[in-house]
Every structure is written in structure tokens, then in C-alpha cells.
């Protein structure tokens, strides 16, 4: 039993370390891609950590089997290099017994992996999709970064600042190209402030009300 606890400690600690390294590598790659989406104004910075947190169980689910395999190689490789395996064999420990201990450790990993695969990861993915749905419902103005021009297709938006307490967006410039009477028309709007309102009767559909501003139109 002492030998099993010793092997289990070596393998499980190594598995946790390798899993953490693989998780950090995976998170860093996704982090950079999400940062580019934030820079493009397609998602908020707060949503970045929410979505990464919900994806962690799925990342662990993929990394755990590989981490366990590498940990077995590391643990048993160290036992052979430091001649501990020779001492075990000379003490009457057979290869079959070691295989049984290894299988017991594998069952622990399988239990953890099964819990993640069948319960934790599906629930996290459900919450991730729920958060993504809320993110998709945000308007372009919800994703604005104050003091910077944001472009999306033929539309360009600029907002100088926000007033969260009153729900206003201050000093707004909006430029868009629309189809009007068969012609492409450039529409530019300048407003001192913009208020975003929701109408419960229309499933809380959001509308923007431009106030104290000027609208310019010109055919292209």
C-alpha cells in the first residue's frame, strides 16, 4: 500500500503539473484571439474572462489524457534512472503488481476525467453558450471603447465618453452608407449625446435616440 501511495503521488502530482502547463498554453492561444476580437469591437473585455473561465473544463478534458501519459513516462523514467525500479524488483515486487498499481492510478484519472466529461464540461459549455448569446444581443454602442473610432463594414462610430449613471453616450459621431431610392447614400450624424432605450413590448429591443445633433446625407 505504501508503494501504491508513493507511485500515485508521483504520477498524480506530475499529471497536475503537466495539465496546468498544457492549460496555460491553450488559454494563452485563445486569449490572444479573443484580444483581437476586443480590439475589433466585437466583444467586451469583461466577457473575455467569463468565456475563458467557462472553457477551462473543456480544455482540461482534452489535456488530461495526454498529461497522464506523459506523467507515467516521467515517473517511471525517473524510477529507472535512479535505480529505484531495480530495488523494487529485487524486493520481490513483480511487473504485474506494478501494472496493477498503475491501473489503480489510471482509474483515479478516469474517474476525474469522467466527471469532467459528463457533468462539469457540458454544464460549462451550456453557460458559455448562454453568455455568448447575451453578448451577441449587445449593440455596437454597447461594445464601444470611448475615445476611439470603431469600424464595422461600411459603418464608423465614435463616442467621446459615457455617463453610466444616466445611460448616456456623449459626443457621438456615426457614419454609414445606406441604400436610398436606388442609390448609395452616405449618412453622417453628429449628436451631443445618445440615449439607449429598451421597449418591453418588443422583447426589450434596444433603440438609440440621438439628441441635440445634426444629420447629413449625400449621394455617392
Tens digits of per-residue pLDDT, 28-41?
A: 888 888 887 776 66
Q: Which residue range(s) make up the domain with 158?
A: 150-219
Q: Note the pLDDT tens digit of each residue in 36-80.
A: 777 666 677 778 888 889 999 999 999 999 999 999 999 999 888
With respect to residue 145, please indicate whether it lies within any of the assigned structural domains: no
The residue out of 84, 105, 136 marking a domain boundary is 136
How many other CB atoms are there within 10 angstroms of residue 214's CB atom? Answer: 10
Whether residue 144 lies inside any domain: the answer is: no
Q: Helix count (H) and strand count (E) of the chain?
A: 5, 5
Looking at the DSSP bridge assignments, the partners of residue 175 are 156, 188
Residues 6+ apart with CB under 8 A from 185: 177, 178, 179, 217, 218, 219, 220
**Residues 161, 82 share a domain:** no
Residue predicted with more confidence, 171 or 16? 16
What helix, strand, coil percent values describe the chain, rounded to 5? 60, 25, 15
66 with 154, same domain?
no
Averaged pLDDT for residues 132-136 = 77
List the one residue out of 161, 158, 139 whose CA is nearest residue 149: 158
Residue 143 is assigned to a structural domain of this protein? no
How many domains does the chain fold into? 2
> How does residue 162 score in pLDDT terms, banded at 50, 70 and 90?
confident
pTM: 0.67
Output the average pLDDT for the chain.
Answer: 83
Q: Collapsing DSSP states into helix, strand and coil, what is residue 68?
A: helix
Amino acid at each position: 500500500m505504501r508503494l501504491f501511495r508513493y507511485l500515485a503521488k508521483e504520477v498524480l502530482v506530475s499529471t497536475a503539473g503537466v495539465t496546468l502547463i498544457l492549460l496555460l498554453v491553450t488559454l494563452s492561444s485563445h486569449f490572444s484571439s479573443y484580444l483581437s476580437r476586443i480590439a475589433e469591437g466585437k466583444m467586451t473585455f469583461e466577457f473575455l474572462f467569463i468565456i475563458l473561465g467557462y472553457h477551462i473544463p473543456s480544455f482540461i478534458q482534452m489535456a488530461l489524457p495526454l498529461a497522464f501519459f506523459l506523467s507515467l513516462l516521467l515517473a517511471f523514467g525517473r524510477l529507472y534512472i535512479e535505480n529505484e525500479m531495480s530495488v523494487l524488483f529485487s524486493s520481490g515486487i513483480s511487473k504485474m503488481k506494478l501494472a496493477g498499481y498503475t491501473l489503480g492510478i489510471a482509474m483515479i484519472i478516469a474517474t476525474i476525467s469522467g466527471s469532467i466529461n459528463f457533468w462539469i464540461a457540458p454544464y460549462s459549455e451550456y453557460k458559455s453558450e448562454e453568455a455568448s448569446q447575451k453578448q451577441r444581443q449587445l449593440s455596437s454602442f454597447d461594445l464601444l471603447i470611448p475615445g476611439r473610432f470603431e469600424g464595422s463594414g461600411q459603418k464608423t462610430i465614435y463616442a467621446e465618453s459615457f455617463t453610466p449613471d444616466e445611460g448616456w453616450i456623449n459626443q457621438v459621431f456615426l457614419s454609414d452608407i445606406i441604400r436610398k431610392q436606388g442609390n448609395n447614400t452616405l449618412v453622417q450624424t453628429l449628436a451631443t449625446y445618445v440615449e439607449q432605450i429598451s421597449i418591453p413590448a418588443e422583447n426589450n429591443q434596444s433603440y438609440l435616440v440621438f439628441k441635440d445633433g445634426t444629420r447629413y446625407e449625400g449621394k455617392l
